[in-house]
Amino acid sequence: MSVQPVTELLVRWRQGDLEALQALVPLVYNELHDLAHRFLQRERSDHTLRSTALVHEAYLRLVHRGPIDTQNRAHFVAIAARLMRQILVDYSRHHRAAKRGADCTIVLEEAFVLPKSKSADVIALDDALTGLARIDEQQSRIVELRFFGGLTTEETAQVLGISPATVKRDWSVAKAWLSRQMKRG
Amino acid sequence: MVVQTDEARVAVEHPSRWEKIKEIVGTALERDPAQRASYLDEACAQNPTLRTEIESLISAYDQPEDDLSQSPLASPLLISAAPLQSIGPYRLLKILGEGGMGQVWLAEQTSPVRRQVALKLIRSGMLHSIALQRFQSERQSLAIMDHPCIAKVFDAGAAPGGQPYFVMEYVEGVPITQYCDQKKLPLPDRLRLFIQVCEAVQHAHRKAIIHRDLKPANILVVEIDGKPRPRIIDFGIAKAAVPSEPDATLFTQAGVLLGTPGYMSPEQIDPTVRDVDTRTDVYSLGVILYELLTGSLPFNTQQLKKQPLDKLLRILREEDPPSPSTKVDADGDKTIESADLRGLQPAQLVTLLRGDLDWVTMKALERDRDRRYGSPSELAAEIERYLQNRPVLARPASASYRLRKYVRRHGVAVAVASGGLALLIAFAVMQGVQLRRITRERDRANRITEFMTSMFKVADPNEARGNSITAREILDKSSKEIETGLAKDPQLQAQLMGTMGQVYASMGLFPQGQAMLERAVQTGRRIGGPDDPDALRAMSYLSFLLLRQGRYADAEKLFKEAIPGQERVFGANDAITLNTRRYLASVLEFEGKYTEADSVMTKVLADDRRALGTENAETLRAMNVMANILDDEKRVPEAEKLYRQTLEIQTRTLGPDAPETLTSASNLAGALQELGRLDEAEKLQRETLTARTHVLGPDHPDTLAVKANLANTLDSASRFAEAEAIYHEVIDTQTHVLGADNPDTLVTAGNLGSTLQRDGKLAEAEKLQRSVLEAKRRVLGPDHPETIKTLASLAATLFIEGKDTEARKIYSDRIEGIRKQPGQPGLGGAYYDFACGAALAGHRDEAFELVRRAIETGYLDSENTQSDRDLQSLHSDPRFAALVVEMKQRSSTSSK
């Protein structure tokens, strides 16, 4: 019985094997990159990008034949969220340079909505997040996992090893802070 | 660049201050806005800068939204904004329903005509401009689709807020499942309604429109002139709404699955395959049929919804649902209700569903679309056939592996094939007893207990921090511990590895089990040399493992290696040794080495009787195995005697319904059948079948085994139609339960082939026998007695059909092949088979000639010759009697 390489790597990583993580990242990155770009390129003017949808998708493609493990999924999404953010930002920067005004916007679902705007300029969000990370690394990670990865409160808590209450609170405060930042910036 | 105020910069430098800010803001946001001020008074007392910071954050969170100036399709929030009253010429009246895709409104069209329509507003974020374009292009074909059972789609567009909408014919009806339940429609009426649905879907398929989202909610029933008629809605919308290019996702932004899990076909769910065709609709129709018949969905989606999404999808994609009758049979309370809604008693419902309706439904639900009905009209035709009491085509066409003497092997084979786990555990427990006996020192006993406890401590919820740990993880963890923690006590290590190996094996994880056991053997030998007790024990487990996997030759070799050591170390009459020797006999039997099996088993039986007693359970099991072997050797009267003996003791000591008793009964029946005492055999088999069905259920391999043998008996009585019907039932279930390539499974097919042949259904017989032969060659090997039997049967069939050339070639090839081997084993038998073929084909002279040759080359089984049906046509000829006499003479003068 052959196990999906990604699944195996995930398991090993969870058991503390950092080399597995090294091997994992490019695999996940490639898949996400593929998905994201196909999506982004297809659209015409509205780059309605479904970040969490793509992460779900990537997960299914890479892991869907292996043994199912919710812990695995949460960890997968944790990596994917970080990569997704990177991919989107890269795309935006590149795109912005090439076509003026054609920005990549992320459509925000109600759960993830930043107060004050329905869509967020990816680059502005990325900058704001980086700023937040300087103040509170964990908090910015929470935003990344929830926003780019689509993890629930419980899953986020699990991945970071903190309580769901903390996640909830930090998430609300982060939203407030980010809105304020992005409005100013 | 982000501009930061002084305040924020201050925050950067003081992480503890940020913590405090988070705490206060968090709490404040949870409070009522009215109460926030007073809270902040308290929390930020004497710290105006802090308060300013906090207030600015809170207001950033709270303030009402800006103007929106994005593209039309990018605003999910708009739906919850001010309620719409009309869209274009459609005036919204009231909501009819709400679903995953959006809302459905009752609307009034004002121009160009006045009428009531249904307007479906799609939740934005789901659809984008390209999909809308696609829909527009399909409107043409949708418009020309005119079928009384399909709701028309009139229009499509975008609402002011940007959400797409579709305008459809307003159907005032009830979902089909609901309608049938409300009216308590009996099965035939439900089926007739369903046929109408299939025909409607077929109509759309002819226009190249696939629905993609068929479910009861989309199939409404209206009554026209008192008669129910289905109306299918949402045709064409699903396609537009659910993108189907390979690189589109299955999910919406919010991670909601597009489509309805219970009704989606496996190919729709698989992210690597997403093209759909007409058979996708067939699948959904299958689900609906299932629901109409049983009242449940094939997969328990309520339960499944609690699973993580990927697991849910995997289950839907990769597992087989229970057949309708099985589902209903198993459901207890729910079934009483479901049956009542169909005007039936629960038992009646099960019976009605079993058979044709099961097959038809399951064929529509095949995971592999090539095996499904190709179109809704095929499905409808099948149901029509059922309603007219004609045979359906879905009868197990692919299930063509058959079991012949399944029952014969039962002494051990039952355990191996179906109760292997139980036996393995019994084996392990018994070995465990040995383990306990030897490890008398308190120290070691404690350490074992410690180890065992720690192994399971991981399952303690506190330890696991609320995560579920699988049995597998426990095992793996423990394996690691054995290797590292116990390195200092290699003997204990060896023992525990032996145990672990068995546990892995019992979970079906054979490679891990094998690895563990091999290590156990190695470790044991390292400590105590080749006769180390732990190593010897592990060797037994290991061989049993090989046996379980059907690797008979390897198992035989290993058993033979282990036995001398066990005899030396434990003694020939010790339970372990006896066990191992018994298994060796079984392996030899499975391999077809009957004579050797006989000699091993005879000794074992004698030892068992002496050491354990004549009524001991192990002894009885041994008697059964011995009888099986005798039977294999065609010493049937002796076998019958022994079976009877065993049966008598078991009935007395274990009870008439005990599994072992039933096994012996079944075996006895087989022997009676061979002796031609068919009425007795049939009676016994039917009794056994009843008992087993009652105790084990109708699908248990053991129940099927006696069923197969009953079919065999009926065949012997030339009651072919009855026999075939039963065979078909058994085949179907066994393929599901045991798997198509299980050695035991394979044997059954041969019998059906022979029955068909005798029944004169030659084409069917030939086809079946060919595929059985191929499989047996692959799984059992070309020289296994079972394979040879099928080969001979096929040849006979061909001969009877008049395909002389091919038939003769098979026979002569075989004969040639044997001639080349040293000792020419079975040459007489080969000629004999050839003779049978010739006789069946009507070539009598040739047949006689061949029988003579058979005799000359060693075939002397006069009993079989006389009773063999295949040679029936020769009986009237005086040459026949003469040959039989000659056989008898030669066999009595030759030394045996």
* Tokens 């990155």, residue located: A29
Condensed to tens digits (0 to 9), the pLDDT of residues B3-41 reads: 344 433 333 446 678 888 888 888 888 888 788 888 888
B52 Cβ under 8 Å from any chain A Cβ: no
Minimal Cα distance from A149: which residue of B? B255
Cα–Cα separations (whole angstroms), residue B883 to B781, B826, B838: 33, 19, 16
Contact B815, B831 (CB under 8 A): yes
Please give the Cα distance from B232 to B150 (Å, whole number).
5
B74 Cβ under 8 Å from any chain A Cβ: yes
Mutation pick from B71, B304, B476 vs chain A, by most beta carbons of A within 10 Å, is: B71
Is the confidence at residue B379, as pLDDT, over 90? yes
* One-letter amino acid for residue B814 of the chain: R
Is the confidence at residue B251, as pLDDT, over 60? no
Condensed to tens digits (0 to 9), the pLDDT of residues B38-53 reads: 888 888 877 888 888 8
Q: Which residues of B touch A152 (CB under 8 A)?
A: none
Q: Which residues of B touch A71 (CB under 8 A)?
A: 467
Please give the Cα distance from B644 to B672 (Å, whole number).
10
Q: Which residues of A touch B313 (CB under 8 A)?
A: 60, 64
* Residues in CB range of B698: below 8 A, 6 or more apart: B733
Q: From the CB of residue B116, how many other CB atoms can be counted at a distance below 10 Å?
A: 12
Q: Which residues of B touch A113 (CB under 8 A)?
A: 77
Minimal Cα distance from A135: which residue of B? B12
- Chain A nearest-CA distance from B319, in A, is 13
* Tokens 């599994």, residue located: B659
Render the burial of B189-215: b for 16+ CB within 10 Å, e for the rest.
ebbebbbbbbebbbbbbebebbbbbbb
Cα–Cα separations (whole angstroms), residue A152 to A28, A77, A108, A146: 20, 11, 15, 7
DSSP H helices, B14-156, are 15-30, 33-43, 48-62, 129-144
* Residues in CB range of B804: below 8 A, 6 or more apart: B798, B841
3-state helix, strand, coil in chain A (%, to 5): 75, 5, 20
Is the confidence at residue B284, as pLDDT, over 90? yes
Is the confidence at residue A21, as pLDDT, over 90? no
Cα–Cα separations (whole angstroms), residue B694 to B690, B700, B834: 6, 11, 44
| pTM for this entry | 0.40
Please name the member of B68, B73, B252 whose beta carbon is closest to the beta carbon of A53.
B252
**Residue B699 backbone class (left: φ over 0; alpha: ψ -120 to 50; beta: rest):** alpha
- Please give the DSSP secondary-structure letter assigned to residue B319: -
Condensed to tens digits (0 to 9), the pLDDT of residues B323-333 reads: 898 888 887 78
What does the pLDDT read at residue B22? 86
Please name the member of B77, B272, B308 whose beta carbon is closest to the beta carbon of A61.
B272
Q: Which is higher by pLDDT, B249 or B86?
A: B86
Please give the Cα distance from B314 to B266 (Å, whole number).
9
**Which tokens belong to B344?**
């039936």
Does residue B213 carry a catalytic annotation? yes
What does the pLDDT read at residue B261? 64
B70–A45: do the CB atoms touch at under 8 Å?
Answer: no
CA angle B871, B872, B878 (to 5 degrees): 85
What does the pLDDT read at residue B657? 81
Please give the Cα distance from A65 to A53 (Å, whole number).
19
Confidence of residue B452 (pLDDT cuts 50, 70, 90): very low
DSSP string for residues in B13-38: H-HHHHHHHHHHHHHHHHS-HHHHHH
A173–B26: do the CB atoms touch at under 8 Å?
Answer: yes
Render the burial of B286-297: b for 16+ CB within 10 Å, e for the rest.
bbbbbbbbbbbb
- Chain A nearest-CA distance from B249, in A, is 6
Q: Give the strand pairing for B115-122 and B86-87.
A: unpaired
Confidence of residue B715 (pLDDT cuts 50, 70, 90): confident
B271 Cβ under 8 Å from any chain A Cβ: yes
Least confident of B62-71, B94-103, B271-280, B497-506: B62-71
3-state helix, strand, coil in chain B (%, to 5): 65, 5, 25
Cα Rg of chain A, angstroms:
17
What does the pLDDT read at residue B460? 35
Please give the Cα distance from B128 to B253 (Å, whole number).
12
- The mean pLDDT value for B118-146 works out to 61
Percentage of chain B modeled with pLDDT above 70: 72
Percentage of chain B modeled with pLDDT above 90: 16
What does the pLDDT read at residue B65? 38
Q: Which is higher by pLDDT, B377 or B495?
A: B377
Peptide bond into A67 cis (omega under 30): no
SS3 B338: helix
The overall average pLDDT reported for chain B is 75
A184 DSSP β-pair partners: none
* One-letter amino acid for residue B128 of the chain: H
ipTM over 0.85: no
Q: Which is higher by pLDDT, B403 or A75?
A: A75
B247–A39: do the CB atoms touch at under 8 Å?
Answer: yes
**Which tokens belong to B408?**
């014969």
Q: What secondary structure, in 3-state letters, does B499-558 show? A: HHHHHHHHCCCHHHHHHHHHHHHHHHHHHHCCCCHHHHHHHHHHHHHHHHCCCHHHHHHH
Mutation pick from A72, A170, A177 vs chain B, by most beta carbons of B within 10 Å, is: A177
Q: What secondary structure, in 3-state letters, does B213-268 show? A: CCCHHHEEEEEECCEEEEEECCCCHHHHHCCCCCCCCCECCCCCECCCHHHCCHHH
* Residues in CB range of B639: below 8 A, 6 or more apart: B627, B628, B630, B631, B671
Contact B498, B520 (CB under 8 A): yes
A94 Cβ under 8 Å from any chain B Cβ: no
> Which sign does the torsion angle of CA A61, A62, A68, A70 carry?
negative
Residue B304: burial class (beta carbons within 10 Å; 0-12, 13-18, 19+): middle
Q: Which is higher by pLDDT, A8 or B401?
A: A8
Residue B415: burial class (beta carbons within 10 Å; 0-12, 13-18, 19+): buried
Confidence of residue B221 (pLDDT cuts 50, 70, 90): very high
Residue B38: burial class (beta carbons within 10 Å; 0-12, 13-18, 19+): exposed
A105 Cβ under 8 Å from any chain B Cβ: yes
**Which tokens belong to B400?**
């063509």
Please name the member of A48, A68, A109 whose beta carbon is closest to the beta carbon of B314.
A68
What does the pLDDT read at residue B82? 44
Which of these, B425, B449, B429, lies nearest to B505 by C-alpha position? B425
Condensed to tens digits (0 to 9), the pLDDT of residues B794-825 reads: 998 998 888 889 999 999 988 888 888 887 77
Please name the member of A52, A118, A176 whose beta carbon is closest to the beta carbon of B57.
A176
DSSP string for residues in A136-173: -HHHHHHHIIIIIT---HHHHHHHHTS-HHHHHHHHHH
Q: What is Dmax (Cα atoms) for chain B? A: 126
A72 Cβ under 8 Å from any chain B Cβ: no
**Which tokens belong to B553?**
């030759």
Catalytic residue among B41, B62, B213, B534: B213
Condensed to tens digits (0 to 9), the pLDDT of residues B581-599 reads: 888 988 888 777 888 999 9
Please name the member of A43, A45, A118 whose beta carbon is closest to the beta carbon of B77.
A118
B157 DSSP β-pair partners: B165
Is the confidence at residue B391, as pLDDT, over 80? no
**Which tokens belong to B9?**
């910069």
Mutation pick from B7, B22, B311 vs chain A, by most beta carbons of A within 10 Å, is: B22
- The mean pLDDT value for B518-539 works out to 85
A118–B58: do the CB atoms touch at under 8 Å?
Answer: no
What does the pLDDT read at residue B101? 61
The overall average pLDDT reported for chain A is 66
- The mean pLDDT value for B420-426 works out to 33
Least confident of B268-282, B497-511, B599-613, B814-828: B497-511
Condensed to tens digits (0 to 9), the pLDDT of residues B61-101 reads: 765 333 222 222 233 332 333 456 778 788 888 877 766 56
Scan residues 690-729 of B and list those with Cβ closer than 8 Å to A: none
Residue B767: burial class (beta carbons within 10 Å; 0-12, 13-18, 19+): middle
- Chain B nearest-CA distance from A151, in A, is 10
Please give the Cα distance from B723 to B708 (Å, whole number).
9
- Chain A nearest-CA distance from B311, in A, is 6
Q: Which residues of B touch A109 (CB under 8 A)?
A: 76, 125, 253-254
Please give the Cα distance from B218 to B811 (Å, whole number).
61
A54–B249: do the CB atoms touch at under 8 Å?
Answer: yes
Q: From the CB of residue B368, how many other CB atoms can be counted at a distance below 10 Å?
A: 9
Q: What's CA B286's distance to the chain center, in Å?
A: 18
Is the confidence at residue B125, as pLDDT, over 80? no
Please give the Cα distance from B298 to B316 (Å, whole number).
10
Please give the Cα distance from B103 to B183 (Å, whole number).
28
Please name the member of B22, B66, B314 whose beta carbon is closest to the beta carbon of A117.
B66
B3 Cβ under 8 Å from any chain A Cβ: yes
